[in-house]
Structure 1
Amino acid sequence: MIHLKRVMFIMMAIAAVFFLWLGNEQNRFESGNYTAAVYPQPGHIAPVFQAETFTGDTFSYSDNEGVPAVIYFWTSWCPYCKASSEAMEEAHQAFGEEVQFIGVNATASDQEADAQSFIEEHSLTFVNVLDDGGGIAGSYYVPPVPTTVFINADGVIEHRKTGGITANEIRTQVRLLQEGL
């Protein structure tokens, strides 16, 4: 009986602490003193980055030179990345130099040799860079792959898609970027 009372007391104490904490969090939120995690989303300026390509060159995305850009985050082991990569290549071939297509391999969770084989196997001709430390994916807040980010000619993120993507979806979003919508 004493043991049951002790357990009940501890549970009530934990509940009281939880509700006090929750009330404090609510007050912080209502007073505007709450700092939320902010990540680039539609309406935000796209983060700039510099990385090594799979051919050993240095690629810099510091501005998109007045053309829309599509940044695609992928890995070689991702089951959805095969079809999405093929869709990206199809869109890249269709739009040519009108749009900058950039693949970012999450090399921190992939093997560079596997990623290189993936690029060759799927005949990807758009620029692909290594994200060794995960800094690029981190700056775009990309928890799962594939994730695709659509950026207008002014460098502002217009749309982001997490998960597999089709060539039709890419074409639709790129047309919206080109039309300035």
Structure 2
Amino acid sequence: MERRRATVAIGTAAAISLFAISIGAPRVRDAVDRDVDVVLDEPGEYQQPLEGADGDVAALPAVEVRTVAGEVMSTADLVGTPLVINLWFAACPPCVREMPEFAEVHAEFGDRVRFIGVNPIDEVDRMLEFAESVGVSYELYLDPFGRFTDALETASFPLTVFVDADGRILARDGVLDADGLRERIALHFRIPTSRSA
């Protein structure tokens, strides 16, 4: 009986690990062992992490990502202007909900803040097709090996990171709507919104 329970427990742990790896969030697989606040009980539904669920990385990690043309570049090359970096993918429901909001705010702030989308899951055609369908025109990059996602200690999607011109990570957030995104841009980059100007 004990042997059967142990076998069931091992099988369950293996299934959870395989699911976490299959969704393409490389750090999520560690959540099972680290007792962090990540909801894994609704497969396919990527929820906003509870406070403290994502890591606390102080500087933008310098790792390789791919452009939509397939070229390799370092995320260190992004530093030099305020950045809003959004990690997302097309099968993530909260990502889908917030993408049009990001497109709207990008239209307002894109001349002062550089918006970046990083996708660790989708193939380039799927990524571009979806982005176009929701009006996203800002820069998009692929993270096919999850290096950037891992380096940010990402626990769930979407994740938005606010980075200053010197490469310091100022804040991290889960799902954001347009107003929340505007507020954070005004707060972290001291750029007034059109509503507060």
- TM-score, normalised via structure 1 length: 0.68
Q: How does 1:8-157 map to 2 (within 5 A)?
A: 39-41=55-57, 44-62=58-76, 64-107=78-121, 110-157=122-169
Unaligned stretches of 5+ residues in structure 1: 1-6, 8-37
Number of residue equivalences? 139
CA distance in 2, matches of 1:112, 1:55: 9
| Deviation digits for residues 28-65 of structure 1 (CA, Å, limit 9, x no counterpart) | xxxxxxxxxx9444xx1111233222244554431545
AA at the equivalent of 2:172:
R
AA at the equivalent of 1:134:
G
1:174 aligns with 2:174: no
Per the TM alignment, residue 96 of structure 1 is displaced from its structure 2 partner at its CA by 1.8
| Deviation digits for residues 118-168 of structure 1 (CA, Å, limit 9, x no counterpart) | 112112111110110111100011121101011122211111012x21111
CA distance in 2, matches of 1:65, 1:73: 17
**SS at 2:111's partner residue?**
helix
Q: Which has the larger radius of gyration?
A: 1
AA at the equivalent of 1:127:
E
AA at the equivalent of 2:158:
P
Higher helix share: 1
CA distance in 1, matches of 2:182, 2:73: 24
Note closer, same or farther for the CA distance 1:142–1:124 as it changes in structure 2 (3 Å cut). same
CA distance in 2, matches of 1:82, 1:160: 18
